[in-house]
Structure 1
Amino acid sequence: MEASSCGIGWRSTRPQVFINFRGQELRRGFIGFLEPALKNENINVFIDELELRGRDLQNLFVRIKESKIALVIFSNDYANSEWCLDELAKIKECMDLGNLYVIPIFYKIEPSVVKHLQGYFGESFMNLKSRYSHDLERTQKWEEALASVPQKFGLPFPENSDRTDWDFIKSIVVEVKRVLEHIQGNSNQRGQPQPIQIQQPDVNFQRAMFSVRQLKISGSHNARYWTFESIYEPSNEEAIEVAKMKRCYYLEVCGKFDTKELIYGTRYEVVFVVKVEDTMTRWNNPATAQLMVPDNSLQEREFQFVDLIKNEWIEIQAGVFDAQPHKEKIAFYLYQHQSNIRMTGLLVRGAIIRPLE
């Protein structure tokens, strides 16, 4: 029988997260911690708990179609399972239709190994493909899915990482919550209200100014990771408050804004105001600035902080949007979830929404 982690006889109306993983390898370890971590954030999760092959595969396909997000957890033994690959092919199908947001997770395996079918992972897949050589349509779908899904923006956790599983799980939860907020924002515009409590910035109908306290910075409640400091600069008559990164494994800065205060028909840009110190080192993966606007395509740009001007306040654009006559909420992010080293050397001052010149 098929078992859903959200209970029997009750179906959440929140977007569902489907977790695709190699059960034999991960169920009692990594998944055993990831699932409750997502549930603790009121995220509706589905996993195939019993994995009864054949009889329940079509039911699982239905669950994938019902879902809004799929977490695909690639691991060393993943390609040994036709069950995982069948699910992956269905996930790709839904992704290509634009009905499913996919987040690949590379658990103790290098992304390049999965993308290029290298090492034990690649050998396992070729052996499995050989066993099913009589079913070319099925194996072709597996190959197409393995060529497509790993190319999406993903979260890697190398075998030799000095992070703990729990640190990595927290970064996954942050990413899922961010995507869900975008999905729910789009739903709100279709008549499904979902109020979001946000602290409004200073607005003068031309621009919105966010102080650092009006942004949400993950980990800022812990002085080991972030500190808030008042600094004086010649260009300012008063002290300004900034958030200083001390030692963090990941970066997550978020702002939200109700655009009803803006001028209809005007194009606006959203920028983060930051300073890169000399102590900043090159992160192993780029950071991303992102803007989510309901019923619009996701805007993203990647960059390396170390390539930016040092010791000066700079602006990083998250995206642009046109103000609408109706009320809508936008969300903007500055994040990097993939570091295997502790990061430092960044000051965050705030964010600005202003007309694009």
Structure 2
Amino acid sequence: MASSSSSDWEFDVFLSFRGTDTRNTFTGHLNTALKSKGIRTFIDDKELRRGEDISSTLFTTIEKSRCSTVVLSECYATSKWCLEELVKMLECKTTIKQRVVPIFYHVDPSDVRGQGGSFGQALDAHKKNLKIEEKQLQRWSAALTEVGNLSGWDLGNKSEAQLILDIVADISKYLNCASSNNAQNLVGVDSCIKESESVLCFESTDVRMIGICGMSGIGKTALARSIYERFSDKFEGCCFLTNVGNVEREGTDYWKKDLLSSVLKDNDIDVTITSIKTRLGSKKVLIVVDNVSHQLTMKTLIGKHDWFGPQSRIIITTRNKRFLSGMDAMYEVQKLQDDKVVELFNHCAFRKDHPAESFERFSLRFIAYAQGLPLALEVLGSSLYKKDQDYWKSKLDELEKTLDKEIQGVLQKSFDELNDNEKDIFLDIACFFKCSNKDHIMKILESCNLFPGSGIENLIDRFLITFSCEKLEMHDLLQKMGWKIVTQTSKEPGKRGRLWMQDHICHVLEKNTGTKEVKGIFLNLFGLKEIHFTTEAFARMNRLRLLKVYESNLSDDSDSESTSRKRKCKMRFSDDFEFHSDELRYLYWHEYPLQTLPSHFKPKNLVCLCMPYSQITELWKGSQVCENLKFLDLSNSKFLMETPDFSRITNLEALVLDGCTNLCHLHSSLGRLRKLAFLSVSNCIKLRDFPAIYELVSVQTLDLSGCSNLQKFPDISQHMPCLSKLYLDGTAITEIPASIAYASELVLLDLTNCKELKFLPSSIAKLTLLRILTLSGCSKLGKFQQNSGNLDRLVELKADGSTIRQPPSSRAVLRNHKASA
């Protein structure tokens, strides 16, 4: 939620009075009483009155106040300053519906409206001043008449103390009502307040500390302010500490004193813990501490529950969820939903509920750009107010290239609070790895010594990234913020740490301007006709750790063959091309056009090597020391005939060779990869033999589907405790070895269209965790072995297109199966 105006009220009450009459008496006491209820008052400093000319700043202050209270004392009209204030307040009453509350302090209302008594005498005195024009006198007289006719407060026979209590109660009621009526200007605030009430638990007598959290610009402060204004009259003392993020600069004692003086209305404050507990321990208080950015603030400023009286509520707003671990409850502010997004943008851009028809198309683009972030909707909408279509279009073009400066400033506060390690992780994700698998990213970043285990969790806690469906996500505007931070490091792209914009990368490669500062390059070739890769261009980029070359006009890369055929960019290489970087951790090159990796390439630090649809015939000569390599993907490399020697790639976790249609030989060392968890060689139609499985003790998924010439599945020589999915569909195997029993954790076995398969071994009965067994199209497969009926976990058996007419003999244990025999 957020205000639909670019600026909120700065004050609740503007106090107008004659200082010599009431500053240290009635008006001073009224000001104290209002503040004790959390009402923001403006009372001018007498030191500011250096002359009798009212300042434009004071006029602006009146305009930014919700209501004005005029203390009409005997000498009020003697001040030209007071009379000018009165004229301005009554003008705001007409133009912006500001409430004006007159207080007739020891004066008769009839003297005010008729300019009798001291008011008449004051105006007569002004007439004698030759510097005052007649028009000005007439304005003052009209203002006195108008305010004298307003319903107000008269001291009468009341005590001043009682009158002040009545006035404060009346103003509190008005402000709460105004806040409620103004909810339409705080789009989405009503629903948020209702949700937050459940965690505030006003009916509970306990002291409760509540955290409000969310990303920068999401509306945390707006919600906290709305709660404060709506419920402050229920408390004996209130305080709203704005933006305490500067606690390190100003010190916690400064903020403690501010808090205590606001709640207790006493500037002579001892800020020791004992004093705080003594002064606040019996009071029911509402305290909001806004924008906490340091853990120290939590410990020293708001302390513990026993600092405050029963039914007190302490509200903390922060961009860091981790700070709220000790809170009684937490409320996370979410981005605005569709209807509220449209409502807020229209309020800001058009000052009405719907856009002009001619602007509707542009409005939708701005709304999509903001992605539900109130800050962006407010800033952009307000900047477009009363602008023509040409300006709107120009602004959209500008936003495609850069982030609005005001939005950047707010969002970057979260980034600036990170340590150097976390900044590197954030920028890598923003520039290269948004929407990528978390585990995959962590392994790459870990190899770069960036400690992603704690770093990524801290970024999530700070709402800079999110984790959903195994992927790391990021708000588009946060990503744009990251891009801008990188581009601001240098005007020369070759001196920046990360390159992802096509024109910048082409400039670096063509002009050979790369430097050791470049740590990552992600080049999308889409739209390029030709590009030349030279050894010289990479020569000085000797700290390059991330390199990706691909071609896609989609938001996610497409590795499909149909997309590949449409690509037009020609990649040309200098003779004896080299990367000149031993620091590479991640190398992804779609359609790599060379037959092998560069001869001097040293993959000792490489963690991920992905070259789908490549022209590679041989990855490298002999064996390479690749102790850090965990992912190897050569899928659809149709010229690859044999795999490399894996004997020195001991930490490999995933191997993908799908669609390598000329692959004939898998190196025998493959069977010794103890850490391999995923192995897929599907549709390798020339593969006839699979190496002996010696030590694949970590394999979870083994996919040999579509290997139509594979006639034998190897014996399993020892227990395979992790294998849960085995795909042999479409192979030419004639039997399943009895050693399949070693795969005791197998959950899925797919033998679809194994047309040469004649029988299943009796040992299959030992696969007690098997849930899905697919035998469809196994036309030569006979009945189950008589003693193969202990598959008590089986829930799905498919055997259509086979000769099987009944499931295993022990039908009772298959009561949950869905057979399609």
Q: TM-score, normalised by structure 1?
A: 0.48
Q: Of Structure 1 and Structure 2, which has the larger fraction of its residues in helix?
A: 2
Q: Which one has the largest radius of gyration?
A: 2
Comparing both chains, which one has the higher relative contact order based on Cα–Cα distances under 8 Å and sequence gaps of 6 or more? 1
More strand as a share of residues:
1
